[in-house]
Amino acid sequence: MATLLHIDSSVFPAEASSSRAVTDAFRRTWQEQHPDGTVIHRDLAAHPVPHITAHAHTAGFSDPDTHTPEQAAAFAERVKLIEELESADAVLIGAPMYNLTIPSTLKAWLDNVVLMGRTAGDAQSVKGLPVTVVASRGGAYGPGTPRAGYEYVQNYLSAVLADFLGTDLDFIVPELTMAPVNPQMTELVPLFEASRERALDEATTKAKLLAQRLAA
Q: Each residue of 49-65: pLDDT tens digit?
A: 999 999 999 999 988 89
What is the pLDDT at residue 14? Answer: 83
Answer yes or no: is pLDDT of 81 > 90. yes
What is the pLDDT at residue 76? Answer: 94
Task: Give percent of the chain above pLDDT 70.
Answer: 100
> What does the alpha-carbon distance between residue 177 and residue 87 come to, in Å, rounded to a whole number?
33
- Find how far residue 11's CA is from the centre of its chain: 14
What is the pLDDT at residue 99? Answer: 95
What is the pLDDT at residue 175? Answer: 96
In the chain, DSSP assigns E strands to 3-8, 38-43, 90-94, 130-134, 168-172
Please report, as a single letter, which amino acid is at residue 24.
D
DSSP 8-state code for residue 79: H
Answer yes or no: is pLDDT of 124 > 90. yes
Q: How confident is the model at residue 214 (pLDDT cuts 50, 70, 90)?
A: confident
**In sequence order, what are the beta bridge partners of 169?**
131
Answer yes or no: is pLDDT of 37 > 90. no
What is the pLDDT at residue 215? Answer: 80
Task: Give percent of the chain above pLDDT 90.
Answer: 86
What is the pLDDT at residue 105? Answer: 98
Answer yes or no: is pLDDT of 209 > 90. yes
Answer yes or no: is pLDDT of 212 > 90. no
> What does the alpha-carbon distance between residue 86 and residue 105 come to, in Å, rounded to a whole number?
20
> What does the alpha-carbon distance between residue 87 and residue 208 come to, in Å, rounded to a whole number?
21
